[in-house]
A and B are shown apart, each in its own frame.
Chain A
Amino acid sequence: MRRLGPFLLEPRLSPPRSVVFGVSILAVVVALLAAAPVFLGYGLSPWQAYAKIGRGIFGSWPSFSEVLRRATPLILCGVGLTLAFRAQFWNIGAEGQLLAGAVAATGVALFLPVPEGLRLPLMFLFGFLAGAIWGLIPAFLRVKLGVNDVISTLMMNYVMGYIVEWLVHGPWKGPTMRGFAYTDAFPLSARLSYLPGTRVHWLTLFLGVVLAAAVAFLLARTRLGYEIRVVGQNPDAGRYAGINFAVVLSLVMIISGGLAGLAGVGEVAGIHWRLRSPAQVSMNYGYTAIIVAWLARGSPVASIFTALLFGLIFAAGDYMKTTLGLPFQITGVFNGLMLFFLIGFDILMFWRVRIAQREKVWTSQIGS
């Protein structure tokens, strides 16, 4: 117990859900406040700006649908990351895994001679596999050679980023695209359909929600899920219990990478209809998904909602760019701030704060 002015701080080992929720909301709100100076810097009143953005985004279905569109890849990547984080594997590589999925989908869309009806299913299948492979490599390196997972997954992002660059500048550069670093446009059979009046490729969104539920089920009710939780919380107990870490980790990264790969398929098949430079395909979805998963505190279902929150932030970024003339980089600043406050406030959950009662403190000092 510690005394801080009139408050007594009492540590607690496991905070109740309501506290976790409250603290997370608090962190988001404080991050919003902390971002206010940016608006001032551009000569805007932050309150008016927030109000305007709110009205702009929630004002009409088409503009709100942008939130869903942005949230789609974040759900898929975020759900995958919750799984990896549960296993204590620091998968910072969703960005690269997403791009791997996009590359595989593009390959199927443009170059694989298959019946038209099979093209989209195969794109998803191969996208999943490509992401899974890109995720498996760091898992393998960690298990067999002890290579730090943060570094290997990060480096894999850069490697895949440059591979995409190379493809769109070189071998896959579309002959009909003249000077642009694009591949050719996908055939119609390789494009996802939208919810009417929006750019929401509903199939990917639907997949994301269903898979979030599936991963939640996997964690709670299956043998693999149990083993993931054991290994993630206490690797030594996992060894003691005879759980094969290499196998569990490989499965985790197949799913985690695969889900990010699906997100990549959705982006190229739903939005761009072609492969283009990595920054355009992904907009840092893979990195943002880290915050999505962190804010969801390892719960796949919760990451649907945190992904929506960040979808909102991205949509707000678009809106600010077009209507308020603010640069899109604001979202990056905001994401960083958000993550800062989230982890900074974590400690609040582990202390119970009470008002100190005078008598109580005194008695223990005077009494003999």
Chain B
Amino acid sequence: MDVANWLISTVSRALAFGVPLLWGTLGEIYAERAGVVNLGVEGMMILGAFLAFSVTQSTGHPGFGLLCAALVGGIAALFHAFLTVTLRANQYVSGLALSMFGLGLAGLLGRGWEGKPLGNPLPSLSFPGLSQVPVLGPMLFQDQTILTYLGIVLAVLLWLLLFRTRWGVAIRSVGENPATADALGINVALVRYLCVIFGGLLAGIGGGYLSVAYRPSWTEGMTAGMGWIVIALTIFAAWDPLQAIWGAFFFGALYHLSYRLQAFLAPELLKLMPYLFAIVVLAISGLGGRRRRGRAPGALGLPYVRGER
């Protein structure tokens, strides 16, 4: 019985912890599918976390807080898009700048809010019938906010959009071969802007989830490197929204276990587990050969200039 309980709570918490990773990864998948790496996820998430917290605290509406988180993520991503798409700046450096800036700004603005608990966090949903189902009920239908389920639904929808619609063809083509898309009248810059901004919106919500749902409070640097894990997950998921689901929850489980296993190992060593695993997972997928794992979009990281040979 103990083992069962342990398992149930682990799965349930893995789901909860995987949510910000899932939202962030879905966003990054879209940006990268359009050919733009955004290393600013960490910055966008922390800004989202701060804004969601402060707005919710001030207005009392967690939904509104999350909306603002999405907006600030989107605006931050807009900067990245402007620098990398319009000014053709190096995507890695621009993303790093965004992360530094976001972490700094959130830290600066958040000083007055530090350590305060949130009065009215995002409520958990209750499923009167479903949550009574033995094992599965408490695993999947207790203590989850709407963002858990919305994230999964979103992943499926985004998969459909990417692989079964006109827009998806356009996005993937822009990421694979922008010159071709351009020659067929697709506005490459527009597609890239939209995808990067969309990625920012999702990252903002992912960050907001942390401060209004998962651990309703604000601490400086509370994203603790999740934004970087998102970048790794994007590769790990082979740029596929459906694979992002289990990837995110796998890492959610790792994060959760790094708290749960403290009886056996020093907490600091447990905390480094997700980061170590991110490397290990990428190394293992490298072992299997890149053909099996799916390739990166052909034009990933490259600015597009019409007429350049």
Which A residues are within 8 Å of any B CB, using their own CB?
Answer: 38, 90, 92, 141, 144-148, 150-152, 154-156, 158-159, 161-163, 165-166, 169-170, 287, 290, 294, 327, 329-337, 339-340, 343-344, 346-347
B225 is an interface residue with CB less than 8 A from chain A: yes
Chain B CB count within 10 A is highest, among A144, A159, A294, for A159
From B90, B104, B111, B276, contact of A159 by CB (8 A): B276
**Chain B neighbourhood of A331, CB < 8 A:** 104
Q: Which residues of B contact A332 (CB under 8 A)?
A: 100-101, 103-105, 107-108
A165 and B268: CB pair below 8 A? yes
B232:A151 contact, CB within 8 angstroms: yes
- Taking each of B83, B87, B100, B271, which has the highest tally of chain A beta carbons within 10 Å of its own beta carbon? B100
Within 8 A of A (CB), among B270-294: 271-272, 275-276, 278-279, 282-283, 286-287, 290
B223, chain A: closest CB distance, angstroms: 12
A333 close to B105 (CB less than 8 A) = yes
| A344-B87 CB under 8 A given contacts A330-B104, A335-B104, A339-B93 | yes
Residues of B close to A152: CB separation below 8 A: 279, 282
Residues of chain B lying within 8 A (CB to CB) of residue A169: 266, 268
Decide: A334 near B104, CB < 8 A? Known: A145-B283, A344-B83. yes
Q: Is the CB of B100 within 8 A of A339?
A: yes
A-B contact pairs, 16 of them (CB 8 A): A147-B279, A147-B286, A155-B228, A155-B275, A155-B276, A159-B272, A162-B272, A165-B271, A169-B266, A287-B96, A333-B108, A335-B104, A336-B97, A340-B79, A340-B83, A347-B89
Chain B residues within an 8 Å CB radius of A333: 101, 104-105, 108
A162-B268, A336-B101 given as contacts; is B275 within 8 A of A343 (CB)?
A: no
Q: Which residues of A contact B268 (CB under 8 A)?
A: 162-163, 165-166, 169-170
User: CB-CB < 8 A to B286: which residues of A?
Assistant: 141, 144-147
CB of B94 within 8 Å of the partner chain: yes
Nearest chain-B residue to A330 (Cβ)?
A: B108
Which residues on the A side are within 8 Å of B283 (C-beta)? 141, 145, 147
Are A166 and B105 in touch, CB under 8 angstroms?
no
A151 CA to B28 CA in the complex, in Å? 14
Cβ–Cβ < 8 Å partners of B105 in chain A: 329, 332-333, 336
Residue of B39, B43, B97, B269 with most partner-chain A CB within 10 A: B97
Whether B287 lies near A145 (C-beta < 8 A) is: yes
**Can you name 20 extra interface pairs (CB under 8 A) apart from A38-B108, A330-B104?**
A151-B235, A152-B282, A159-B272, A162-B269, A166-B268, A170-B268, A287-B96, A327-B108, A329-B220, A332-B100, A334-B104, A336-B97, A339-B93, A339-B96, A339-B100, A343-B83, A343-B93, A343-B94, A344-B82, A347-B88
Given contacts A169-B266, A347-B87, whether A162 and B290 have CB atoms under 8 Å apart is no
- Determine the main DSSP class of A at the interface with B: helix
Contact of B266 with A166 in the complex, beta carbons under 8 Å: yes
| Contact indicator B275/A158 (Cβ below 8 Å) | yes
B250 contacts partner chain A, Cβ-Cβ < 8 Å: no
Which residues of A are found within 8 Å of B235, using beta-carbon distances? Answer: 148, 151
Q: Is B232 within 8 A of A329, CB to CB?
A: no
Question: Measured between C-beta atoms, what is the minimum distance from B12 to chain A in Å?
Answer: 25
Question: Which one of B82, B94, B104, B235 has the greatest number of beta carbons of chain A within 10 Å?
Answer: B104
Q: Provide the residues of chain B in CB contact with A151, threshold 8 Å.
A: 228, 231-232, 235, 278-279, 282
With both chains docked as a complex, state the minimum distance between the C-beta of A165 and any C-beta of chain B, in angstroms.
Answer: 4
Minimal beta-carbon separation of A277 from chain B (angstroms): 10
Residues facing A in B237-263 (CB within 8 A) are none
A344–B89 CB distance below 8 A: yes
Q: Which residues of A contact B97 (CB under 8 A)?
A: 336, 339-340, 343
Q: Is B149 an interface residue (CB 8 A)?
A: no
Asked whether B232 lies within 8 Å of A346 as measured between CB atoms, the reply is no
Inter-chain CA distance A158–B272, complex, in Å, is: 7
B92 interface contact, C-beta 8 A: yes
Question: A150–B275 contact, CB under 8 A?
Answer: no
Contact B111 A166 (CB under 8 A): no
Closest B residue to A332 using CB positions: B104
Taking the complex as formed, is B102 at the interface, i.e. its CB lies under 8 A from any CB of chain A? yes
B69-115 residues with Cβ-Cβ distance < 8 A to A are: 79, 82-83, 87-90, 92-94, 96-105, 107-108, 111
Please give, as numbers and ranges, the residues of chain B lying within 8 Å of A165 by CB-CB distance: 268, 271
Inter-subunit contact A166/B89 (CB<8 Å): no
A122 to chain B, nearest CB (A): 27
Alpha-carbon gap, A335 to B105, bound state (A): 11
Known: A158-B225, A335-B104. A343 touches B89 (CB 8 A): yes
Cβ–Cβ contact B87 & A346, under 8 A: yes
**A287 to B39, alpha carbons, bound, how many Å?**
14
Report the minimal beta-carbon distance from B96 to chain A, rounded to whole angstroms. Answer: 6
Q: Which residues of chain B (201-231) have a CB below 8 Å from chain A?
A: 220, 225, 228, 231
Chain B: CB-nearest residue to A290: B96
CB contacts (< 8 Å) of B282 on chain A: these are 141, 145, 147-148, 151-152
- A351 vs chain B, min Cβ distance (A): 11
B88-A329 in contact (CB<8A) = no
In the bound complex, residues from chain B placing their C-beta under 8 Å from that of A145 are: 282-283, 286-287
In the assembled complex, the Cα of A138 lies from the Cα of B109 at a distance in Å of 35
Chain B positions within 8 Å of A147 at CB level: 279, 282-283, 286
Q: Which of A90, A156, A287, A330 meets B279, CB within 8 Å?
A: A156
